[in-house]
């Protein structure tokens, strides 16, 4: 496969960028033309950011799986589509060619069909990192069912919230998942979630860990039995459902600054075009390259850069079931060595944690196959950048620092490997089609070089979200109400004299813990569920490995009893309500929170204290009870 839209030089980048701004419809129409459409679109773009209403490739008809699978069969049927490395390095790995993956997707699409799944139905997928997860995702897309993948670390309560919001009647899960030396009992978590969700009609359970599970009559079926049934039918074909370009492809829940996570909706046509375009350009993917993205498919990075974009590009995508530190901290490097990986796309938090193990684990592996390194999820600090560059890329692999969000579908700001210049700690330049602007607090654009502000995008791109599921108004207030006619990202950024962007992090109440987005409000709500907690306030603080840690200030009723036990108990409550990733790192008991006379918690002060900047908390004169600040400072947990 060749990629007519692949940018090969800085001049080409500049030309593509200019055209994407001067003639966006011509530009994206050309990119989209190299995909397979059953029927071409009537109109490339229609939009306004007021309602907002965004439509790309209207009237176009297609199925994304025909682009991921069918169209590669003739020329690349025997090429590996997926390489799977199991949790335990002693176990057998698997390779699925495009032909094999196609057969499995068609087969499982028939399983879903036999179980009643139709176009437009929501299917929740809760699995570990096994090839069947990608197969389930693609099988949904083949039928036009809307998948909603939930990361395997989320709790029963989080799952129930998402199932209810999406009104998902079908679930695909497995008995359990292996992660390092743990096995996570996924099916049993689903059972707990379903106590509250009687509308769920069917649960399909894959065997992975052989953890004992209870199967509910009439509701739960085994993946393997259902596949066998399709085999006895003679493995019939499953023609792809013809979709409109603007039909939803999936829902993915993500945290915001208020309330419960929202269901970000991506649509078939634009998402396909944008993610594939970004993949081929940012990583400079060439046919035959082995691409290893270490994210979980439960997050957007896995959706876009493990499943959809690589497969649309006919690439080989490596799926790793385990964790970077098991059986030892050399696991990533051994995988690179074993499969001769060419592109390694990972997160700063993983790099920082592996740095802590020294160079021993790195030196045992041959990393000479690597050509491109990538980083995503949070700002990468210079120390981690250089360690990655020196020790993994051996100073000969470009590092792409890719900034984007669940809502964006694909990478928005990044250097293009070897084509545009890297700058440590900087995401650098916008991709063609992306028009970033910096805004000040008063809604004015900040122009010129060497300035900082709130990062917005002023023109639509094909991969952007179309709505928040079931609540379009939420999409408007979240992203389009802060600034007129702008998509507001929630991030702050600088811009230098060459037009490079350096993302400084969230400016709203969203934390980024090990690259995971967590809303402070969500954590507070979970803490407040604990009997005995009166109220709480949660802020982030700099954490050496996680990027940000979670610091909770908690007002607790009874002062007696064992404090450390109560802390453990509260952390456990959060893990039960949200999931272990949201557990506070520090819990400080306080007698009150710093509030204004109107009752608003002054988080600015709490943030400064958590950061250890005790002399720099700013003006506290407007507080109802300024004395509480001194008490909180004295009790600060180092
Ligand atoms: C893809 C993904 C989005 C938030 C985003 C920003 C942070 C992601 C970054 C980065 C600096 C980068 N972020 N990549 N910050 N440099 N290269 O991570 O999506 O989980 O929705 O998180 O992550 O703060 O707003 P998501």
Q: Which residues contact 619 (CB under 8 A, 6 or more apart)?
A: none
Determine the atom of ligand 1 nearest the C-alpha atom of 506: 24
Residue 365 has pLDDT above 70, yes or no: yes
pLDDT tens track for 446-503:
999 999 999 999 999 999 999 999 999 999 999 999 999 999 999 999 999 999 999 9
Please give the C-alpha separations between residue 627 and each of 343, 590, 609, 623, in angstroms, as whole numbers: 54, 12, 14, 9
CA of 505, closest atom in ligand 1: 24
Domain ranges for the chain, please list them.
515-634
Note the CATH number of domain 515-634: 3.30.300.30
pTM here?
0.96
Question: What is the predicted pLDDT for the residue at 559?
Answer: 60
Residue 261 has pLDDT above 70, yes or no: yes
- Relative to the CA of 301, which ligand 1 atom is closest? 1
C-alpha span between 129 and 206 (Å, rounded):
12
Confidence of residue 624 (pLDDT cuts 50, 70, 90): confident
Read off the pLDDT band of 258 (50, 70, 90): confident
Q: What is the pLDDT of residue 597?
A: 83
Tell me, in angstroms, the distance from the centre of ligand 1 to residue 209's CA. Answer: 32
Percent of the chain whose pLDDT exceeds 70: 100
Instruction: Report the complex ipTM.
Output: 0.99
User: Does the pLDDT of residue 168 top 70, yes or no?
Assistant: yes
Closest residue by Cα to atom 10, ligand 1, is 378
Minimum CA distance residue for ligand 1 atom 3: 405
pLDDT band at 299 (very low <50, low <70, confident <90, very high): very high
Query: From ligand 1's centre to the CA of 591, what distance in Å?
Result: 35
Residue 327: Cβ-neighbour burial (10 angstroms; 0-12, 13-18, 19+): middle
| pLDDT at 259 exceeding the cut of 90 | no
Instruction: Give the Cα separation of 53 and 472 in Å (integer).
Output: 10
Rounded to the nearest angstrom, the distance between the alpha carbon of 304 and the centre of ligand 1 is 14
Peptide bond into 52 cis (omega under 30): yes
* C-alpha 229 – ligand 1 centre gap (Å): 43
Q: How far is the CA of 373 from the centre of ligand 1 (A)?
A: 17
**Mean pLDDT confidence for 19-30:** 98
**Block residue for tokens 């829940």:** 253
Q: How far is the CA of 506 from the centre of ligand 1 (A)?
A: 9
pLDDT tens, residue by residue, 271-280: 999 999 999 9
Please tell me the distance between residue 128's alpha carbon and the centre of ligand 1 in angstroms. 22
Q: Average pLDDT of 342-363?
A: 96
Residues with CB under 6 A from ligand 1: 254, 299-301, 375-379, 401-406, 427, 489-491, 503, 505-506, 512, 517
119 and 241 Cβ atoms separated by less than 8 Å: yes
- Residue 155 pLDDT class (50, 70, 90 cuts): very high
- Between 240-254, 466-480, 550-564, the lowest mean confidence (pLDDT) is in 550-564
pLDDT tens digits, one per residue of 194-234: 999 999 999 999 999 999 999 999 999 999 999 999 999 99
Rounded-to-integer distance, Cα 146 and Cα 223, Å: 19
Q: Is the pLDDT of residue 561 over 80?
A: no
Atom 12 of ligand 1, nearest CA residue: 403
Supply the pLDDT for residue 621. 83
Residue 619 CA to residue 174 CA, distance in Å, equals 53
Q: How far is Cα 635 from Cα 586, in angstroms, rounded to an integer? A: 12
Distance CA 488, CA 485 (A): 9
């Amino acid at each position: 496969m060749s990629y007519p839209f692949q940018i090969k030089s800085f001049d080409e980048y500049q030309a593509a960028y200019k055209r994407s701004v001067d003639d966006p419809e011509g530009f994206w129409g050309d990119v989209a033309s190299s995909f397979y459409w059953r029927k071409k679109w009537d109109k490339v773009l229609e939009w306004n950011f007021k309602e907002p209403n965004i439509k790309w490739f209207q009237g176009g008809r297609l199925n994304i799986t025909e682009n991921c699978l069918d169209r590669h069969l003739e020329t690349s049927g025997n090429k590996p589509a997926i390489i799977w490395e199991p949790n335990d390095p002693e176990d057998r790995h698997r390779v699925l060619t495009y032909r094999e993956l196609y057969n499995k997707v068609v087969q499982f699409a028939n399983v879903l069909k036999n179980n009643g799944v139709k176009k437009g139905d929501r299917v929740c997928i809760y699995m570990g990192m096994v090839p069947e997860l990608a197969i389930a995702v693609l099988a949904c897309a083949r039928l036009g069912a809307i998948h909603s993948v939930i990361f395997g670390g989320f709790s029963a309560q989080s799952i129930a919230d998402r199932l209810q919001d999406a009104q998902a009647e079908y679930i695909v899960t497995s008995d359990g998942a292996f992660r390092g030396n743990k096995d996570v009992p996924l099916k049993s978590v689903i059972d707990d979630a379903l106590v509250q969700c009687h509308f769920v009609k069917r649960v399909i359970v894959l065997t992975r860990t052989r953890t004992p599970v209870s199967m509910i009559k009439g509701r739960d079926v085994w993946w393997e039995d259902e596949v066998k049934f399709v085999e006895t039918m003679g493995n019939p074909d499953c023609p792809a459902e013809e979709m409109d370009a603007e039909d939803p492809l999936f829902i993915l829940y993500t945290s915001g600054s208020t309330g419960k996570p929202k269901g970000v909706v991506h649509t078939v046509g634009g998402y396909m075009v944008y993610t594939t375009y970004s993949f081929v350009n940012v990583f400079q993917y060439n046919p035959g390259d082995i691409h290893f993205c270490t994210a979980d498919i439960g997050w957007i990075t896995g959706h876009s850069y493990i499943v959809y974009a690589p497969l649309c590009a006919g690439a080989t995508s490596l799926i790793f079931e385990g964790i970077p530190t098991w059986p030892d901290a050399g696991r990533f490097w051994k995988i690179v060595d074993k499969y001769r990986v060419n592109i390694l796309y990972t997160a700063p938090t993983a790099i920082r944690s592996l740095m802590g193990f020294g160079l021993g684990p790195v030196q045992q592996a041959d990393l000479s196959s690597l050509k491109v390194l990538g980083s995503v999820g949070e700002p990468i600090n210079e120390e981690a950048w250089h360690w990655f560059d020196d020790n993994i890329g051996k100073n000969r692999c470009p590092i792409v620092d890719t900034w984007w969000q669940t809502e964006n579908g694909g990478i928005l700001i990044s250097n293009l490997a070897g084509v545009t210049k890297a700058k440590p700690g900087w995401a650098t330049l916008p991709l063609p089609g992306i028009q970033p602007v910096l805004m000040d607090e008063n809604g004015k654009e900040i122009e010129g070089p060497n300035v900082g502000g709130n990062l917005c995008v002023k023109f639509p791109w094909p991969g952007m979200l179309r709505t928040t599921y079931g609540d379009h108004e939420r999409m408007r207030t979240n992203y389009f109400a802060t600034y007129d006619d702008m998509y507001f990202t929630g991030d702050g950024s600088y811009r230098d004299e060459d037009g490079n962007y350096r993302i400084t992090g969230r400016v709203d109440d969203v934390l980024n813990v090990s690259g995971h987005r967590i809303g402070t409000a969500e954590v507070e709500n979970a803490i407040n569920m604990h009997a005995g907690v009166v109220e709480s306030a949660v802020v982030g603080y700099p954490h050496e490995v996680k990027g940000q840690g979670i610091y909770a200030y908690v007002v607790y009723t009874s002062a007696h009893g064992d404090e450390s036990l109560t802390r453990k108990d509260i952390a456990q409550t959060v893990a039960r309500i949200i999931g272990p990733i949201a557990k506070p790192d520090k819990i400080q008991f306080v007698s009150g929170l710093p509030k204004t006379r109107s009752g608003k918690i002054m988080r600015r002060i709490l943030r400064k204290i958590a950061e250890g900047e005790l002399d720099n908390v700013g003006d506290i004169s407007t507080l109802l009870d300024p004395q509480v600040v001194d008490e909180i400072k004295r009790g600060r947990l180092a």
